[in-house]
Amino acid sequence: MTERKRRRGTRLSVGESRVSMVALGLAAWVVGALWIFPFAWTVLTSFKTEQDASAQTLHQGLSFGRYNDVSQSTQGTLSLGTAFTNSLIVVLVSTTIVMLLALPAAYALAIRPVPKWRDVLFFFISTKFLPVVASIFPIYVYASKWNLIGTRTILIVLYIAINLPLAVWMTRSFFSEVPRELIEAAEIDGTSLFNQLRSVIMPIAAPGIAATALLCVIFAWNEYFYAIQLNFAGASTMPQWVIGNVSTRGNFLAKLSAASMIACLPVILAGWAAQKRMIRGLSMGALK
């Protein structure tokens, strides 16, 4: 694969003098700083004492104390360990199954188009238009009939359903980026389907597939509506744990900030690490 020549970027101003370059770079920094501010402030608050946090001052120094506080479990409340384990299992299992279902579907849609593939694709996207509230009552009714309320299973099933359309849609476009000639050449050489996938298709589509899986992880990890509707019992996930830290009395701002940071950290780190890949993934195909 040849690396595409990197462009010089969009030019906005006439002549693009050195001064305007610097000015636009600075503008980007200002925008970035503004956008991150609420988050950065919360990070700062999470290290403060409760007194400093509610007064928005900084007299008593910074420490990991609040992180320690929120990770201690109290009797009768949802503990961090439980919520984290639940979230981890639900997210990993659902994303794995989504990808296992989406890849063959995408293959059938892009590389060896089945008849009426456009209709099928449109059907997948259209399920996304269906607001979750439209199907929550039957799901609730049947989930309680089958004793699935408060289990990880029901969340896994539902998270597969919310992410599948996006995954099929995105992986299909990444697959259709694979040059037809390559696949035909591999076929003439008598390469088996599995080897074709492994040595021809996957290397080209991999960044896109990774971007897709990451988006599925983000949406599943952050999901809140189904989690509170169907999972008030033992299988609560991280968003519920964060909400559980909102106290109605006493100081809680620093503890809440610490809890928020713990809850968001895994996805933030994954997102930071994969940002370039995500942009490349989106530019490769999301539209074709």
Residue 90 touches another protein, criterion: CB under 8 A: no
Q: Which of 136, 149, 183, 204 binds another protein (CB under 8 A)?
A: 136
User: Please, which residue, 89 or 157, has the CB nearer to another protein?
Assistant: 157
Q: Is 165 in the site for another protein (CB under 8 A)?
A: yes
Binding flag, residue 205, another protein (CB under 8 A):
no
Find the part of the chain contacting another protein (CB under 8 A) among 76-84, 145-153, 187-195, 217-225.
217-225
Could you say whether residue 190 binds another protein (CB under 8 A)?
no
Identify the residue among 196, 242, 255, 258 touching another protein (CB under 8 A): 242
- Alpha-carbon distance values, 145 to 133, 141, 157, 161 (Å): 19, 6, 16, 20
Joined together, the tokens standing for residue 63 give: 């420490």
Handedness of CA 257, 259, 261, 264 (dihedral sign): negative
Please give the residues from 5 up to 64 whose contact with another protein meets the rule CB under 8 A.
5, 7-14, 16, 21-22, 24-25, 27-29, 31-33, 35-36, 38-39, 41-42, 45, 53-54, 56
- Residue 150 touches another protein, criterion: CB under 8 A: no
Binding of residue 232 to another protein (CB under 8 A): no
Q: Closest CB to another protein among 127 and 185? A: 127
- Report, in angstroms and rounded to the nearest whole number, the Rg of the chain calculated over CA atoms: 24
Q: Does 94 bind another protein (CB under 8 A)?
A: no
Per-residue exposure over 153-183, b if at least 16 CB sit within 10 Å of its own CB, e if not: ebbbbbbbbbbbbbbbbbbbbbbbebeeeeb
Read out DSSP for 102-131? HHHHHHHHHTSPPTTHHHHHHHHHHHHHS-
What is 42-75 written as a DSSP string?
HHHHHTS-HHHHHHT--SS---SHHHHHHHSPPT
Choose the binding region for another protein from 72-80, 176-184, 186-194, 252-260 (rule: CB under 8 A). Answer: 252-260
Q: What is the DSSP letter of 250?
A: S
> DSSP 3-state assignment of 85?
helix
Least distance from another protein to the Cβ atom of residue 101, Å: 4
CB of 89 to another protein, least distance (A): 18
